[in-house]
């Protein structure tokens, strides 16, 4: 019997009204690391537009875990704002998730005023130095993830998405490209996945059966000597055996190196360079074409790798990556993916899901120009949408 894309579905302990979720797209709307009316309206708009669940991104589990300005920092002062956001989304009939993480080597010391931590010491392509974590650092970060989940639970969130991808801290431990440790967290795959398993267990202990626990899961790093699909799949199987995750949202590439592997389509190098400091801009002129490589857009571009997970795991899977057309969404659900996640398509058309369900359109009008990428530091938006119609512009009274 065919699975209906628009019928209710279960995600762990929560019931969603359909199988389309708003993927985490960092908003840049959280001054002083707190929820703002602009951020509330941003997510309320997607909820009103028909998504089953909208994902707040990116929520740092500690001040040192930030990767950019205007990120939510999960601390007691943030709880009331998060609760207001959850209430606004729930009022529109949707669920709300928060992506939680530690930026690790993607961290920005100009923002955190702290050392940038990672699995191993090194230097990013843009020159930032990162430092190998001690056991005390590791224990503290696990506790920070649990504390962040507790804040979200008290704020009424329905799900928490642990960021295990995009070269952030947890991915840096899993990836052989970034992890050169020789202790219990390095070397063999079982060691490199240890921190990810500990974090998932700590978050599940807090979430219980009240919140769904999802992992943003790195299938492939998209860099030389990085994580490959076979290793990623083996690591995912270990997490599956632990039983602490309700779903994996499958992704690849990342912010530290080769970000266009994640996005595909046009490369907004000029716009990205404009967001950098003069010193960074000089370096970017030298390495920009290498750092932001050309990857022609193909719809559902992660589907080939994701199919390998589909055939090997029982954990529900969320398909991500340039999904624009209704028939692609339907075929993904028919094939066995539990949910599909949309990002840029919804920035372009926040009411896309309602219009798809009503038969008004059959695909998004997103042109994959990727000029939304550099807007993240001033309020993420589609540059093709009239400012008056952008999510986050119509601030709630």
pLDDT tens per residue, range 339-358: 999 999 999 999 999 999 99
State the DSSP H helix or E strand holding residue 347, giving kind and residue range, or none if neither: helix 344-348
The one catalytic residue in 168, 185, 295, 377 is 168
Residue 396: pLDDT over 60? no
Strand, helix or coil at 52? coil
**Tokens 């191993």, located at residue:** 120
Instruction: Reply yes or no on whether 301 is catalytic.
Output: no
Tokens representing residue 287 in the block = 């390495």
The model's pTM is 0.93
User: Can you tell me the distance from the alpha carbon of 313 to that of 310, in angstroms, rounded to the nearest whole number?
Assistant: 6
User: Can you tell me the distance from the alpha carbon of 197 to that of 190, in angstroms, rounded to the nearest whole number?
Assistant: 10
Q: What is the pLDDT of residues 50-91, one digit of tens each?
A: 999 999 999 999 999 998 889 999 999 999 999 999 999 999
User: Can you tell me the distance from the alpha carbon of 175 to that of 304, in angstroms, rounded to the nearest whole number?
Assistant: 21
pLDDT at res. 395: 41
Q: Which of 59, 63, 42 is nearest to 51 (CA)?
A: 42
Q: What is the pLDDT of residues 122-143, one digit of tens each?
A: 988 767 899 999 999 999 999 9
Length in residues, the chain: 397
Mean of the pLDDT values across residues 322-327? 96
Tell me the CA distances in angstroms from 336 to 5, 175, 232, 233, one per residue in order. Answer: 12, 27, 20, 17
Q: Which of 237, 341, 357, 339 is nearest to 11 (CA)?
A: 339
Domains in the chain (CATH in brackets) are 9-389 (3.20.20.70)
Instruction: Give yes or no for a contact between 103 and 66, defined as CB atoms under 8 angstroms apart.
Output: yes
User: Can you tell me the distance from the alpha carbon of 161 to that of 164, in angstroms, rounded to the nearest whole number?
Assistant: 9
Instruction: Give yes or no for a contact between 225 and 179, defined as CB atoms under 8 angstroms apart.
Output: no
Q: What is the pLDDT of residues 10-37, one digit of tens each?
A: 999 999 999 999 999 989 999 899 999 9
pLDDT at res. 385: 84
Instruction: Give yes or no for a contact between 103 and 118, defined as CB atoms under 8 angstroms apart.
Output: no
Side-chain-side CA neighbours of 359 within 13 Å: the count stands at 0
Residue 254 CB neighbour total at 10 angstroms: 26
Q: What is the pLDDT of residues 143-165, one digit of tens each?
A: 999 999 999 999 999 999 999 99
pLDDT at res. 100: 98
């Amino acid at each position: 019997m065919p699975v209906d894309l628009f019928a209710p579905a279960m995600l762990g302990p929560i019931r969603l009204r359909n199988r389309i979720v708003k993927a985490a797209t960092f908003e840049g709307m959280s001054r002083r690391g707190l929820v703002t009316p602009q951020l509330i309206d941003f997510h309320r708009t997607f909820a009103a537009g028909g998504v089953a669940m909208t994902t707040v991104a990116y929520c740092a589990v500690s001040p040192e875990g930030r990767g950019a300005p205007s990120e939510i920092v999960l601390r007691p002062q943030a709880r009331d704002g998060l609760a207001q956001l959850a209430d606004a989304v729930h009022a529109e009939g949707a669920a709300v998730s928060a992506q939680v993480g530690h930026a690790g080597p993607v961290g920005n010391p100009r923002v955190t005023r702290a050392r940038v931590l990672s699995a191993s010491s090194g230097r990013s392509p843009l020159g930032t130095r990162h430092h190998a974590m001690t056991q005390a650092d590791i224990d503290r970060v696990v506790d920070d993830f649990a504390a962040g989940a507790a804040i979200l639970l008290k704020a009424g969130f329905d799900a928490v998405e642990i960021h295990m991808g995009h070269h952030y801290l947890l991915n840096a431990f899993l990836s052989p490209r970034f992890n050169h440790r020789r202790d219990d967290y390095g070397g063999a795959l079982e060691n490199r996945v240890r921190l990810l398993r500990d974090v998932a267990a700590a978050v599940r202990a807090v979430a219980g059966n009240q919140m769904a626990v999802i992992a943003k899961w790195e299938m492939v790093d998209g860099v030389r000597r990085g994580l490959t699909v076979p290793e990623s799949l083996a690591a995912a199987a270990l997490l599956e055996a632990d039983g602490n995750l309700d779903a994996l949202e499958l992704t690849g590439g990342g912010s530290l190196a080769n970000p266009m592997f994640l996005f595909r389509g046009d490369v907004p190098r000029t716009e990205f360079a404009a967001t950098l400091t003069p010193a960074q801009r000089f370096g970017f002129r030298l390495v920009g074409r290498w750092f932001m490589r050309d990857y022609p857009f193909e719809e559902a571009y992660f589907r080939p790798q994701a199919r390998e997970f589909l055939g090997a795991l029982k954990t529900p899977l969320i398909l991500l990556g340039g999904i624009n057309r209704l028939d692609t969404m339907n075929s993904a659900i028919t094939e066995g993916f539990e949910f599909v996640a949309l990002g840029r398509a919804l920035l372009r058309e926040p009411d896309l899901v309602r219009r798809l369900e009503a038969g008004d359109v059959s695909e998004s009008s997103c042109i994959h120009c990727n000029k939304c990428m550099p807007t993240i530091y001033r309020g993420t938006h589609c540059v093709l949408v009239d400012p008056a119609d952008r999510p986050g512009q119509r601030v709630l009274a």
